[in-house]
Amino acid sequence: MKAQDRRSFLKTAAAVGTAAVGMGTATAAAGPKNILSPDRMGVLVDTTVCVGCRNCEHACKTAHDLPTEPLSSYGDRSVFEQMRRPDDTALCVVNEYENPKNADLPYDVKVQCMHCDHPACLSACIVGAFSKEENGAVVWDTDKCIGCRYCMAACPFQIPAFEYHKALDPQIRKCDFCIERTTKGELPACVNICPVEALTYGPRDEVIRIAKQRIRTYGDRYVDHIYGEHEVGGTSWMYMAGRDFKDLGFPKLGQNTAPGVSEAIQHGIFAYFMPPVALYALLGAIMWMTKTRKEEGL
Amino acid sequence: MHAHMKPAPMKGKFFTPGVIILTLIALNGLVFLAGRFFFGIGSVTNLNNQYPWGLWIAVDVAAGVALAAGGFTTAALGHVMHREEYHVILRPALLTAMLGYTFVATAVFIDIGRWYFIWHPLIMWNGSSALFEVGICVMIYMSVLYIEFLPMVTERFIGHVTLPGVLSRLNAPLDRLLRFLDRTLERSMFIFIIAGVVLSTLHQSSLGTLMVIAGSKMHPLWQTPVLPLLFLLSAISVGFPMVIFESMIASRAFKQKIEIDVLSRLGGLVAPILGIYLAFKLGDMFIRETFVYLQEFSVESVMWTLEVVLGIVIPLRMFLSRAVLKSPLLLFIASSLVILGVALNRINNFVVAYTPPYAFGSYFPSIGEISVTVGFIALLVLIYRVYVMIFPVISVPEGPATPQTKYAIRGKQ
Ligand code: SF4
Ligand code: SF4
Ligand code: SF4
């Protein structure tokens, strides 16, 4: 390498480095909407109140234009023989578990997206198709999604479902907290229909207060645990139960947010693009030095 | 001992019995692939809402990226550290990386549900997503690889542009374009080479970050915050074995002498890297005390043991032995074991370790998934063959009659 070349080498290398740093600052700002509003809403699901009528399943399907059997068929309790999961044909489902204290009053658990305060799906999505809205809803944007299904691998509650049998325009389906209804001031369809008020919709703080109140007042009815208050950093949907949550099909999760570790690693590697730029500079230096040494050796 | 080596297009018939078999395997894969595009992913694969990722992500994408690591590891050795003695392997390694990444990109295209939106990550960014970073780095790196390959195109065609018929008028301008490219690239190639190495270290490690977010859904034998480091180390350790492996196969296929001098020297570099990888893997295991899971007999414990013993410990011992390094057969076996080990590791991380909280069965790839994967590997080998027969990739001993000028200009126009 001649002196002339060497100078241009350094100049170009510096230019590349600067460009990379510029890109780094841009990336830091880029990302999906992720609001953690103090006024976000929540739903309290009291599994000791729920009677398993599954009217919410019907209301949810109707509100989301999903095909459904007539409401009269939902009284059939044989569906409870197997545990079911929400999927692309049903955004919420109710499962039934035994009540060890009273066999005639089984516990029924409605399952849907938890609308996490720190959603793993949102952090993971390659194109940022999820957003956490002002009112706490975690919603998915069909105009962005590429169908990679990373959100499904990431979600700790195994919620997002994919339409595997569509060749064109397959969607990720999950509960959207009835965002269309709530922005119009209506209740979520499932909350609205529930005949026994097993679902309480309100500001998240308020809902937690109600739950604590109930535990204080009816101590022997509930276990002293509000599932979702602290799990994976908190969720908008929260549950009360009469027996241990792990016996009601809830995953045992810690209080750390689901994307925490992964984001720490990502941001560590990309802290203002410094590590990659430093590596670039180091490699450039090695390349230049070994070249020079070779020439001087000749 | 050094006959002067110079890259040249390989000669010989394209169709051999082996090639015909590979073509059939590739065609079979394409049939299933058509099913995927006409009837959806669910019609060809065993994927479902419990197991969103399967064979295509584990093997075609994750193992594919790892096994293409020969590109950046040899570039670091040959170009960045200027170890001239390894020059004969640089071009084959580059070609493998270039085709390997093309294979990975195609696999992603096939696996994502909305393939027509594959360009979205270019304009829709999510800085916190490990997958976004992998995607962007892979896209840029693939372009870099194609740029790094250009000199082989210019070298092959400068003075040889002979388009037939009406197109022949384009000959002169095309030739000028090639010469221009050649001059520009010669001066700026170092930028791309360094960028290639940086991009590789980034996405090789971020590929490991991918499953960190799955948290407790991943078996503790594999789930660890140091996954990115383990992925990077394993990718580096498989780079040279992969080069040895393919170089030996190519030599056989084109009846060339095996470059055992260069290959065994390259093999000598493998043991230290493999040792570091093993140390980190076991160190992590002891810190997190996950060895308790090895006491139970399960798919996970068996697969972990296979991955580590067959893929790291045995080849490490082999690469430490002089006798192995000197013997083409043993060197080939040792290299194959490392490759197998890394491939197993990626399968373990993305499929075996993945335990959904609500599973209604376990996942095993369908005939369709396997056919597509195997078919694409066959296609990759065939395309490699086409490339080395057109472009000067593989080095042959320079004969006395070979002209010494950079470009042998053909007599006719
Ligand atoms: S439950 Fe899953 S899908 Fe719903 S917000 Fe949380 S991470 Fe996302
Ligand atoms: S499948 Fe869609 S929503 Fe889910 S991570 Fe991929 S791009 Fe995002
Ligand atoms: S909030 Fe709406 S989408 Fe979600 S379960 Fe209830 S009805 Fe279904």
Residue B327 has phi, psi (to 5 degrees) of: -100, 120
Q: Which of A175, A187, A237 to mutate to test the pocket of ligand 3 (most atoms within 8 A of CB)?
A: A175
Residue B198 Cα, gap to closest chain A Cα (Å): 6
DSSP assignment of A75-144 equals G-GGGGGS----BTTBS-EEEEE--TT-TTS-EEEEE----BSS-HHHHH-TT--EEE-TTS-EEE-TTT
Indicate whether A106 and A122 sit together in one domain.
yes
Distance from C-alpha of A18 to C-alpha of A11, rounded to nearest angstrom: 11
Residue A160 has phi, psi (to 5 degrees) of: -60, 135
Does residue B393 lie within any of the structural domains?
no
Looking at the CA of B129, which ligand is closest?
2
Split into its structural domains, chain B has a count of: 1
pLDDT at A172: 96
Indicate whether A253 and A118 sit together in one domain.
yes
Split into its structural domains, chain A has a count of: 2
Cβ–ligand 1 distance for A157 under 6 Å, the answer yes
By alpha-carbon position, which residue is closest to atom 3 of ligand 3?
A: A175
B132 with A270: Cβ contact below 8 A: no
Instruction: Using CA coordinates, name the residue in chain B closest to A164.
Output: B42
Does residue A241 lie within any of the structural domains?
yes
Indicate whether A115 and A236 sit together in one domain.
yes
Nearest Cα to Cα of residue A203 among A137, A138, A139, A135:
A135
Distance from C-alpha of B85 to C-alpha of B265, rounded to nearest angstrom: 9
pLDDT at A294: 65
Per the CB < 8 A criterion, the answer to whether A173 and A160 are in contact is yes
**pLDDT tens digits, residue range B129-187?**
999 999 999 999 999 999 999 988 888 888 888 888 888 888 888 889 999 988 888 88
pLDDT at A272: 62
By alpha-carbon position, which residue is closest to atom 4 of ligand 1?
A: A113
Mutation target for B interface from A9, A81, A111, A148: give the one with most B CBs within 10 A. A148
Find the B275 Cα to ligand 2 centroid distance in Å: 38
Does residue B28 lie within any of the structural domains?
no
Residue B348 Cα, gap to closest chain A Cα (Å): 15
Does residue A268 lie within any of the structural domains?
no
Tokens 């799906």 appear where? Answer: A121
pLDDT at B401: 47
**pLDDT tens digits, residue range B324-363?**
999 999 999 999 999 999 999 999 999 999 999 998 889 9
pLDDT at A271: 64
Indicate whether A137 and A125 sit together in one domain.
yes
Instruction: Using CA coordinates, name the residue in chain A closest to B113.
Output: A147
**pLDDT tens digits, residue range A51-90?**
999 999 999 999 999 999 999 999 889 999 999 999 999 9
- Mean pLDDT across A256-283: 80
Contacts A158 to B, Cβ<8 Å: 49-50, 217, 356-358
Does residue A267 lie within any of the structural domains?
no
For the ranges A41-55, A132-146, A214-228, B6-20, the lowest mean pLDDT is seen at: B6-20
Band of the pLDDT at A259, cuts 50, 70, 90?
confident
Instruction: Using CA coordinates, name the residue in chain A closest to B80.
Output: A287
Does residue B39 lie within any of the structural domains?
no
Distance from C-alpha of B367 to C-alpha of B110, rounded to nearest angstrom: 16
Does residue A265 lie within any of the structural domains?
no
Indicate whether A65 and A158 sit together in one domain.
yes
Residues 6+ apart with CB under 8 A from A219: none
Residue B12 Cα, gap to closest chain A Cα (Å): 38
Does residue A237 lie within any of the structural domains?
yes
ipTM of the complex: 0.89
Does residue B383 lie within any of the structural domains?
no
B124 with A127: Cβ contact below 8 A: yes
pLDDT at A21: 46
Distance from C-alpha of B239 to C-alpha of B246, rounded to nearest angstrom: 11
DSSP assignment of B94-134 equals HHHHHHHHHHHHHHHHHHSTTGGGTTHHHHS--TT-HHHHH
pLDDT at B23: 95
Does residue B325 lie within any of the structural domains?
yes
Percent of chain A at pLDDT > 90 equals 68
Cα-to-chain-centroid distance, residue B11: 25
Indicate whether A63 and A203 sit together in one domain.
yes
- Mean pLDDT across A275-291: 83
pLDDT at A2: 45
Per the CB < 8 A criterion, the answer to whether B315 and B238 are in contact is no
- Mean pLDDT across B113-140: 92
Q: Indicate if the pLDDT at residue B14 is higher than 50.
A: yes
Which ligand 1 atom sits nearest the alpha carbon of residue A174?
A: 3
Residue A108 Cα, gap to closest chain B Cα (Å): 17
- Mean pLDDT across B189-199: 90
Q: Spell out a b/e string for B40-67, using b for 16 or more CB atoms within 10 Å of the CB, else e.
A: bbbbbbbbbbbbbbbbbbbbbbbbbbbb
The number of beta carbons lying within 10 Å of the beta carbon of residue A57 is 26
Residue A66 Cα, gap to closest chain B Cα (Å): 18
Which ligand 2 atom sits nearest the alpha carbon of residue A154?
A: 5
- The domain that holds B79 is classified in CATH as 1.20.1630.10
pLDDT at B8: 87
Instruction: Using CA coordinates, name the residue in chain A closest to B217.
Output: A156
- The domain that holds A169 is classified in CATH as 3.30.70.20
Indicate whether A162 and A249 sit together in one domain.
yes
Does residue A159 lie within any of the structural domains?
yes
Q: Indicate if the pLDDT at residue A219 is higher than 90.
A: no
Distance from C-alpha of B199 to C-alpha of B134, rounded to nearest angstrom: 9
Indicate whether A255 and A285 sit together in one domain.
no
Q: Identify the three-state secondary structure at position A40.
A: coil
Q: Which of A140, A141, A143, A146 to mutate to test the pocket of ligand 2 (most atoms within 8 A of CB)?
A: A146
Q: What is the largest CA-CA distance in chain A?
A: 93
A290 with B81: Cβ contact below 8 A: yes
pLDDT at B219: 94
Distance from C-alpha of A231 to C-alpha of A226, rounded to nearest angstrom: 9
Instruction: Using CA coordinates, name the residue in chain A closest to B131.
Output: A126
CA dihedral in degrees (B90, B91, B93, B96; nearest 10)? 170
Indicate whether A26 and A36 sit together in one domain.
no
pLDDT at B410: 42
- Mean pLDDT across B43-55: 95
Which ligand 2 atom sits nearest the alpha carbon of residue A162?
A: 1
Indicate whether A8 and A114 sit together in one domain.
no
**pLDDT tens digits, residue range A2-54?**
444 545 555 555 555 445 444 444 444 468 888 888 999 999 999 999 999 99
Does residue A53 lie within any of the structural domains?
yes
Find the B87 Cα to ligand 3 centroid distance in Å: 62
Does residue A264 lie within any of the structural domains?
no
Contacts A163 to B, Cβ<8 Å: 40, 113
Indicate whether A294 and A152 sit together in one domain.
no
Indicate whether A252 and A293 sit together in one domain.
no
Residue A217 lies in domain: 32-259
Contacts B137 to A, Cβ<8 Å: none
Residue B269 exposed, middle or buried by CB count within 10 Å (0-12, 13-18, 19+): middle
Element (H, E) at B382: helix B367-390
Residue B353 lies in domain: 54-371
**pLDDT tens digits, residue range A82-128?**
999 999 999 999 999 999 988 889 999 999 999 999 999 999 999 99
**pLDDT tens digits, residue range B229-271?**
999 999 999 999 999 999 999 988 888 888 888 999 999 999 9
Find the A119 Cα to ligand 1 centroid distance in Å: 5
pLDDT at A15: 53
Which ligand 1 atom sits nearest the alpha carbon of residue A115?
A: 5
Distance from C-alpha of A120 to C-alpha of A113, rounded to nearest angstrom: 12
Joined together, the tokens standing for residue B333 give: 């076996």
**pLDDT tens digits, residue range B361-411?**
899 999 999 999 999 999 999 999 999 999 999 888 876 544 444 444 443
Cβ–ligand 3 distance for A189 under 6 Å, the answer yes
